[in-house]
Structure 1
């Protein structure tokens, strides 16, 4: 057998086993295996026809043989001048398809040759035994190769699927952080507008001034109920201990924060005091204060933060023990908790940099007394309302407007006064609930009074607070209270 014959035989064997079907692949194989510089010029017909996957032939003298009913292919002479009588050999192409199911579907087209003629070219016994007499062994060998290939693809698929699941989990956390960052950036941009310009986005703000990163069931209920009752508003939950990366707080230890982050209109943000106090009278106070020496630091810090946030970003502030029962209107409002006191547990200002809030921050610093409960909270708001409206009797403006600020009636947030806070833990009749809370936006349940009692929401007690939890924050009730 000449060198050219040997080249064609082995190349044909490789092409069949490798399943090569494109001319470019044949050329590449020739160049790599035999360093043929111009395969089309050396083997023009062989390269072109072999690559089609249908016919295999060399430069032909007689052309391919065709019989009735099936296609016959002829490997013709390359050395006809030397031995013209021994180069005739006929092959039939058999086309097999093997359908393989993994987690997806694909079809592997498999080709091999069987002998049609008993005449075998001189010097081609190896080729003949591989494709003629050894067809059964070849088939087993090829099936073994297919099984190996299937196992390889299965391994690649499993690794790829695991990688995609990990990337999806990672991207969800990244998108959550990016969404939070973009929204707080938006808040900052809007805060630079003129004082008289209303906010483009109505919002409700909650604040957690401890380092606790697992909100209480009541706090989760407060945020969830506000989100459900106000789907048109963005709910921001500022948490002092939040790092900005939700993935650092795994389940099930941090169930509450994950429940809140799953709500469409809830965004959890880091409470950065220096950032929020920047440009306000509260910055100098904050730099001088020593929290360790303060008797009511958590409360005082919360009083300061809500003033700065509302002044900078506008919107409505709510305490984390207010369960929202109805949608909140967008308005400049304050709400008395009694005839003599205006609470800072719920307050709203739709415009940025409202002068009332600036005056409150000035008074906060000028009249700061950390040892008196409520000095920087309800007492501050009460004395500022009296100055703003130039009155001493708050009842005169109850339910009315005073210099652009509405003084809502007590039952909007405080239908049950704080001395009677235990009534939230008692069973109520349906008609009594409807009558007492008929025009209430949010029920303040006075959790500060419960700090020493540690009364939890008891499942099946039929208490008023359980009723509110089941009705207005069902996610928190099922996953934190009933869990």
Structure 2
């Protein structure tokens, strides 16, 4: 019965947009069927699940723990960072990172991502938005102070509900389905990436990238893909031109219409994938894989040169990782690799030493721990 319950849960998640299929699955499991029938149903469920996840790392994790603490998002105490308010007016050449985990600072990997972006883009503004407080002690005594030595880095605080006011996502952020998300930290990040691009335009990046080339010669409006099935939301650019504004508006509306609290990636890569496919299909350009109508979808080698199933390549001691000259950043698949150590002779360590040298030198053997 335990396995039946487990796969009933899988069925509910897999067929979240197809209630009839879910009910059929549950009915078959619950009726007095033979063991052969039950086993056949379970095997079918497993096969469908594998087919759905095989090409997207964003879709494969199921959350059982509903206790992620995001209380810091609603706290106003012990906050040393300036607030993002109506006076905030970033330049068009802006990169945005978000920290939503309530850790009160950045990990060494996150700090490396920020430094690499700032180092590669001296004439861009690199903004790091924290959804929870950062204390004066952490701001002045940690490596955050070293990041601020880059004149183009700004560390700022946002209050989520205030930040969403006056946008299409205002009511969703305040609603209980959002607050009861199975992925509270991640879904806050999903909300913020689309809200930020909607409000300001610019480039959004996940903080587990290492940037190796400036983005100046890329198109104005773009995203990347890590497979042939989905556009990925880990790095995106929506400019302030008409196409960028169209994409920003379409993504927040899609987020609002399709928000689902049970999926990891349904509200992140799912949003930009749906918007790009719909835009391309409307104009009869069914080959959305490279984008259309001026919106560019870059091939995996540009931002995701190592496929997620080969993520250990970044962490292998002595590995000589050869990537394309077309690569602008390396994604480290942090949710899959956060427990890996980073040997000094690994590709990740070598990238960090070159592209985020201040953070890497400060942490030394503790980098990535």
2: CA distance between counterparts of 1:250 and 1:231? 22
Task: Summarize deviations over 1:147-185 as a string: whole Å, max 9, x none.
Answer: xxxxxxxxxxxxxxxxxxxxxxxxxxxxx97xx669972
Secondary structure at 1:340 match in 2: coil
State the SS of the aligned residue for 2:224. Answer: strand
Aligned twin of 1:338: 227
| 1:70 counterpart residue number | none
1:341-391 Cα deviation digits (max 9, x unpaired) = 100000001117712221211121211211112010112211111101117
Q: What's the CA shift for 1:186?
A: 4.2
CA 1:338–1:182: 2 relative to 1, 3 Å: closer
Cα contact 2:92–2:239 (8 A) shared by 1: no
Give the structure, 1 or 2, with the largest relative contact order (CA under 8 Å, sep 6 or more): 2
Matched, 1:446 2:336: no
Q: Does 1:287 align with 2:177?
A: no
Partner residue, 1:351: 240
- 1:104 corresponds in structure 2 to none
Separation (CA, whole Å) in 2 of partners of 1:471 and 1:235:
19
The C-alpha deviation readout for 1:301-348, integer Å capped at 9, x for no partner, is: 100100010111010001000100100126110111110010000000
Q: Is 1:221 the equivalent of 2:112?
A: yes
CA–CA distance in structure 2, aligned partners of residues 381 and 354 of structure 1:
14
1:472 aligned to 345, 351, 355, which one?
A: 355
Distance 1:250 1:374, change over 3 A: closer
SS in 2 for 1:204: strand
1 CA distance for matches of 2:130 and 2:269?
Answer: 22
Q: CA deviation at 1:251?
A: 5.4
Q: Which residue of 2 aligns with 1:185?
A: 87
Q: How many residues align?
A: 283
Question: Equivalent residues in 2 for 1:381-400 (5 A)?
Answer: 381-390=272-281, 396-399=287-290
Q: 1:89 corresponds to which residue?
A: none
Residue matched to 2:48:
none
Structure-1 separation of matches of 2:328 and 2:159: 29
Q: What TM-score comes out, normalization by structure 1 length?
A: 0.54
Partner residue in 2 for 1:410 = 300
Q: Deviations over 1:272-321 (max 9, x none)?
A: 21232122221100111366632111111100100010111010001000
SS in 2 for 1:323: strand
**1:249 is paired with a residue of what secondary structure?**
helix
Cα 1:236–1:407 change in 2 (3 A) is same
CA RMSD of aligned residues (A): 2.7
Structure 1 segments, 4+ long, off by >4 Å, are: 180-184, 391-395
Distance 1:382 1:219 in 2: 25
5 Å matches for 1:222-301? Answer: 222-242=113-133, 247-249=136-138, 252=141, 255-289=142-176, 293-301=180-188
For residues 341 and 392 of structure 1, do their structure 2 counterparts lie closer, same or farther at Cα, with a shift above 3 Å needed?
Answer: farther
Deviation at 1:394, TM superposition (A): 9.3
The Cα of 1:404 is off from its aligned counterpart by 2.5
Query: 2:193, 2:107 → 1: CA distance?
Result: 20
Q: Tell me, yes or no, if structure 1 residue 463 matches structure 2 residue 346.
A: yes
Contact 1:340–1:394 (Cα < 8 Å) also in 2: no
Structure 1 regions of 5+ residues with no counterpart?
A: 1-175, 191-199
CA distance in 1, matches of 2:137, 2:266: 37
CA apart distance, 1:209 = 1.0
Unaligned runs of 5+ in 2: 1-79
TM-score (norm 2): 0.70
The Cα of 1:398 is off from its aligned counterpart by 4.2
**Is 2:173–2:179's contact at 8 Å kept on the other side of the alignment?**
no
